[in-house]
C-alpha cells in the first residue's frame, strides 16, 4: 500500500517555512500482528510539533530530516491484524498522522465513539488537547470555586476547554487571545468574565492588573515570556501556574531570558508545575464520559478549524503560529 | 526598662553597608497582659531580612526607616504577664530580635528545651531555619530513597540540615558552597557524596553535569540565578525544585533576567514550589521530637557561627552576603 506523507525537508531556523516541508510517497507494506492499516480521515497539527522539528532533545523524539512527520490521526481501518478492530472501524491514534495512510498499533488505538463525538473531536476535545486541559486543570491547577483563573491562548484547542472547565468549577475566568473575533468568542460563546486582545493592550501586565484586580489564583500558561512575567506579578498567595506550553518561545533562534520576577515563587508560595498529556492517558475513560455528558447538556462546546485536503497540512501548521485557528486546527483528507 | 536596638538608618542600595544601621536606646515600658519582658541571650541575622530592608512589598513587612529591625531572638524572662512563663525561663520568639531587651507576646513564644538543645539552636536547627529545611524538604521536595538531591548554599543554616535530612532519606546528596573549607565540611562532616566550591568551577552548569551525571531529582534552591538555570538543565523528569531563597538576587539594584530554559518545566514535568517557614510552624512538635532523637544518635549535627557582643549585629548580617558563616550565624549578647 502506498501513502503520501509529509517529510521534514529541513529544520526550521526560527519561524517554520513552507520549504521545510515536502510531500513524498511511502511504501507501507502490510500490517503485522496487532497492527492496523488505516486510511486517514483527518490529522492534527499542534504547536508542540515545532519542538520536535529541532535537533535538540525534547520530551517527544525529534523528527528526522528526510523522514515523515508524525502526530495524532483519525482513520478508517482498511485491514486489521488486531482482534479488537475490524475493517471499516474508525480509530484514533497518537501516531500515524501527516500521511494519507498509515500502519498503526492496534493496542494504542482508541475506538471513535460516533454516538457522542465527531471523528475530528478525537484530535481535539476528545483527544490530546482535551486530556491536556482536563488533567492539567484538575490534577495540576486544582481549581476551587470562587478562585480567579487566567488562561492565555484562551481560544485555542486547549485554552477554550480550560476556560469552560474552570467556569464549571465555579471560578472567575479571564482569557487572552490574539484577535477581536477570538475575544468575542470567549465572552459571548464561552461566557468568560473578562477577555482581552493582547495585541491591542498597552502591556500584558496592565491588562492583567485591569482584569484581575483581586489577583490570580491559577494561571494557565500556554505562552510563556511576557505573559508569565505578568502572571508572576499578579498571582495570589498559594497560586498555581499550570505550565502547558510556551508558544512565544518555540520559534526563538536563541533563548530569551526568563521572567525577572521569579523570586515571587517564594514569597507567594507559588507552585509552578509542568505536565504532558501522555502522562494522563489513563484518565481518558473518566474524562470522555464527563465530556459526553457536558456536551449533551450544553455546558461545554468547542470549535474546530478545518483545513481541507492533505496537501494543506504544512499551511495549517504554519497557521498555528499566526493564530489562524479558533479551537482545534485539523486537516481533513 | 531601656533597651539598645538596631535601627534602620537608611535603606540599602544594593549591597547593605554598615552606615545603613544605627544603634539607639528605646524605652520599652512594662509588659502588658500575656506579654513577657525578656533580656536577649542571642539574636539571629538571616538573609531574608535583606528583603525587609527594601520598601517594596515582600512576604514579611518592610522595616521602616528610623524604626528598630526585628527578627528571631532567644531571651531570659525578666518579667512575665503570661501564665505559662515565669521569671528566669528561657524562651524563643520570632519577633523581638536586634535589641538587648524586648517585650514579646507570650502566646507566640516557645519554651527552650535545654535538655536537648542549646539556646542558640532555637535560632537555627531548632528554629526557623530548621523548620524551613524540614518542611521544605519533606512536604515540598518529598524525597524518595535513591534519588539525587542537589543543595545550593549547602553549608548554611538551612542547607546543612537539608543535606542531612536528604541523606537520612536514602538520597545521594550534592552540595555547593563558597569556600574550600565549607566543601571539606560538607564532605567530611556531613558525608555528602559530592560537593564543590562554586567560586572555583569553570561554570556552575559544568559542575552540575560533573557531579550529577544521572541528573537531579530535587534541587534545593537557596540561590537563584545561574544555579537555577543549571538545575533546570540537569533536572530529571518529574523533578522538584524547592524554592527556598534566591540570595544571588537579594542585593540587585535592578532585577536580573530569569533562567532562559524555564521551558524545561514542561517537557520534564517539573514542579517548582516556594514555601515559607511560618506556614509550617504547626510542624514544630513533630520536627523537634525527631531532631532531638537524630541529634542524640549522631545522625544530624550542625554548626553555629557565633558573633560576640550586641554591637556586632550589623557586621554579622553583612557577613552573610560574603559567606562568612558556617551553619547558623547568631549574635550573642
* DSSP letter string, B45-71: --TTHHHHTSSS--SSPPPPTTSB---
Cross-strand partners of B308: B332
For the segment A256-269, the average pLDDT, to the nearest whole number, is 94
Contact check, Cβ <8 Å, A59/B266: yes
Q: Please write the tens of the pLDDT for every residue from B52-88.
A: 998 876 677 899 999 999 999 999 999 999 999 999 9
Which residue does chain B place closest to A141, by CA atoms?
B271
Give the closest residue to B140 by CA, choosing from B292, B236, B279. Answer: B279
Contact check, Cβ <8 Å, A269/B273: yes
Q: Please write the tens of the pLDDT for every residue from A56-104.
A: 766 778 999 999 999 999 999 999 999 999 999 999 999 999 999 999 9
User: Which candidate from A224, A259, A273 shows the least CB-CB separation from B263?
Assistant: A224
Q: What angle do CA B286, B287, B292 make, to 5 degrees?
A: 105
pLDDT of B246 reads: 87
Contact check, Cβ <8 Å, B274/A260: no
Comparing B55 with A39, which gets the higher pLDDT?
A39
Looking at A125-139, A195-209, A277-291, B43-57, which range is the least confident one?
B43-57
Which residue does chain A place closest to B250, by CA atoms?
A263
pLDDT of B203 reads: 96
Lookup: cell for B184: 571539606
User: Which candidate from B244, B257, B266 shows the least CB-CB separation from A257?
Assistant: B257
Which residue does chain B place closest to A279, by CA atoms?
B269
The count of residues in chain B is 333
DSSP three-state, residue A99: strand
ipTM score assigned to the predicted complex: 0.91
Angstrom distances, CA of residue B89 to CA of B37, B124, B231, B309: 11, 19, 45, 22
Kindly state whether A273 is in contact with chain B, defined as any CB-CB distance less than 8 angstroms.
yes
DSSP three-state, residue A51: helix
Kindly state whether B257 is in contact with chain A, defined as any CB-CB distance less than 8 angstroms.
yes
- Mean predicted lDDT score pLDDT of chain A: 95
For the segment A1-26, the average pLDDT, to the nearest whole number, is 95
pLDDT of B58 reads: 64
Which residues 226-245 on chain B approach chain A with CB closer than 8 angstroms? 228, 243-245
Percent of chain A with pLDDT over 70: 99
Contact check, Cβ <8 Å, A266/B275: yes
Q: Please write the tens of the pLDDT for every residue from B274-308.
A: 999 999 999 999 999 999 999 999 999 999 999 99
Q: Is residue A16 exposed (0-12), middle (13-18) or buried (19+ Cβ within 10 Å)?
A: buried
Report DSSP letters for B310-328, one per residue.
GGGHHHHHHHHHTT--SBE
How far out from the chain centre does Cα A66 lie?
Answer: 26
User: Largest Cα–Cα distance of chain A, in whole Å?
Assistant: 61
Contact check, Cβ <8 Å, B269/A273: yes
Comparing A288 with A58, which gets the higher pLDDT?
A288
pLDDT of A57 reads: 64
For the segment B266-276, the average pLDDT, to the nearest whole number, is 97
Q: Is residue A214 exposed (0-12), middle (13-18) or buried (19+ Cβ within 10 Å)?
A: exposed
Contact check, Cβ <8 Å, B266/A260: no
Nearest chain A CA: its distance from B150 CA (Å)? 18
Kindly state whether A145 is in contact with chain B, defined as any CB-CB distance less than 8 angstroms.
no
Q: Please write the tens of the pLDDT for every residue from A157-176.
A: 999 999 999 999 999 999 99
pLDDT of B56 reads: 73
Q: What angle do CA B140, B59, B104 make, to 5 degrees?
A: 105
pLDDT of A58 reads: 65
Contact check, Cβ <8 Å, B272/A268: no
Contact check, Cβ <8 Å, A274/B255: no
Interchain CB contacts (distance < 8 Å): A and B: 104
Q: Which domains are assigned to chain A?
A: 2-124+303-332 (3.90.180.10), 128-278 (3.40.50.720)
Kindly state whether B180 is in contact with chain A, defined as any CB-CB distance less than 8 angstroms.
no
Q: Please write the tens of the pLDDT for every residue from B100-149.
A: 999 999 999 999 999 999 999 999 999 999 999 999 999 999 999 999 99
Nearest chain A CA: its distance from B228 CA (Å)? 10
Looking at A45-59, A111-125, A192-206, B147-161, which range is the least confident one?
A45-59
Kindly state whether B267 is in contact with chain A, defined as any CB-CB distance less than 8 angstroms.
yes
Contact check, Cβ <8 Å, B274/A270: yes
User: Which candidate from B228, B257, B265 shows the least CB-CB separation from A272?
Assistant: B265
DSSP three-state, residue A195: strand
Kindly state whether B59 is in contact with chain A, defined as any CB-CB distance less than 8 angstroms.
yes
Asked if B201 contacts B178 with a C-beta cutoff of 8 angstroms, the reply is no
pLDDT band at A323 (very low <50, low <70, confident <90, very high): confident
pLDDT of B174 reads: 98
User: Which candidate from B249, B272, B275 shows the least CB-CB separation from A272?
Assistant: B272
pLDDT of B233 reads: 97
pLDDT band at A55 (very low <50, low <70, confident <90, very high): confident
Contact residues on chain B for A279, CB-CB shorter than 8 A? 269
- Mean predicted lDDT score pLDDT of chain B: 95
Give the closest residue to B281 by CA, choosing from B176, B164, B132, B173. Answer: B132
Q: Which helix (H) or strand (E) holds A194?
A: strand A194-197
Residues with Cβ within 8 Å of residue A154, at least 6 apart in sequence = A160, A162, A163, A175, A176, A177, A182, A186, A190, A192, A195
Asked if B52 contacts B10 with a C-beta cutoff of 8 angstroms, the reply is no
Tell me which DSSP letter residue B255 carries: P
User: Which candidate from B255, B266, B273 shows the least CB-CB separation from A243?
Assistant: B266
Contact check, Cβ <8 Å, B276/A267: yes
Amino acid at each position: 500500500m502506498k501513502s503520501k506523507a509529509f517529510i521534514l525537508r529541513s529544520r526550521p531556523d526560527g519561524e517554520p517555512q513552507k520549504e521545510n516541508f515536502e510531500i513524498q510517497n511511502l511504501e507501507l507494506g502490510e500490517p503485522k500482528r496487532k497492527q492496523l492499516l488505516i486510511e486517514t480521515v483527518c490529522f492534527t497539527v499542534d504547536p508542540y510539533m515545532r519542538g520536535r522539528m529541532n535537533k535538540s532533545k525534547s520530551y517527544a523524539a525529534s523528527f528526522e530530516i528526510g523522514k515523515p512527520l508524525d502526530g495524532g490521526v483519525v482513520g478508517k481501518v482498511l485491514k486489521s491484524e488486531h482482534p479488537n478492530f475490524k475493517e471499516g472501524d474508525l480509530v484514533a491514534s497518537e501516531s500515524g498522522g501527516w500521511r494519507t495512510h498509515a500502519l498503526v498499533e492496534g493496542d494504542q488505538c482508541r475506538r471513535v465513539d460516533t454516538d457522542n463525538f465527531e471523528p475530528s473531536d478525537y484530535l481535539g476535545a476528545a483527544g490530546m488537547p482535551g486530556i491536556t486541559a482536563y488533567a492539567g486543570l484538575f490534577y495540576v491547577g486544582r481549581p476551587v470555586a470562587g478562585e480567579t483563573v487566567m488562561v492565555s491562548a484562551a481560544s485555542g484547542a486547549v485554552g477554550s476547554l480550560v476556560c469552560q472547565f474552570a467556569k464549571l468549577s465555579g471560578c472567575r475566568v479571564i482569557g487572552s487571545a490574539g484577535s477581536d473575533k477570538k475575544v468575542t468568542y470567549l465572552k459571548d460563546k464561552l461566557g468568560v468574565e473578562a477577555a482581552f486582545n493582547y495585541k491591542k493592550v498597552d502591556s500584558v501586565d496592565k491588562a492583567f492588573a485591569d482584569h484581575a484586580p483581586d489577583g490570580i489564583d491559577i494561571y494557565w500558561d500556554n505562552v510563556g515570556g511576557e505573559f508569565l512575567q505578568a502572571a508572576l506579578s499578579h498571582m495570589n498567595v498559594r497560586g498555581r501556574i499550570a505550565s502547558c506550553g510556551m508558544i512565544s518561545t518555540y520559534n526563538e533562534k536563541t533563548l530569551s531570558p526568563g521572567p525577572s520576577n521569579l523570586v515571587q515563587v517564594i514569597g507567594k508560595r507559588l507552585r509552578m508545575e509542568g505536565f504532558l498529556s501522555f502522562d494522563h492517558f489513563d484518565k481518558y475513560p473518566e474524562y470522555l464520559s464527563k465530556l459526553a455528558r457536558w456536551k449533551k447538556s450544553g455546558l461545554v462546546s468547542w470549535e474546530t478549524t478545518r483545513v481541507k485536503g492533505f496537501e494543506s497540512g504544512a499551511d495549517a501548521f504554519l497557521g498555528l503560529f499566526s493564530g489562524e485557528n479558533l479551537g482545534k486546527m485539523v486537516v481533513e483528507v
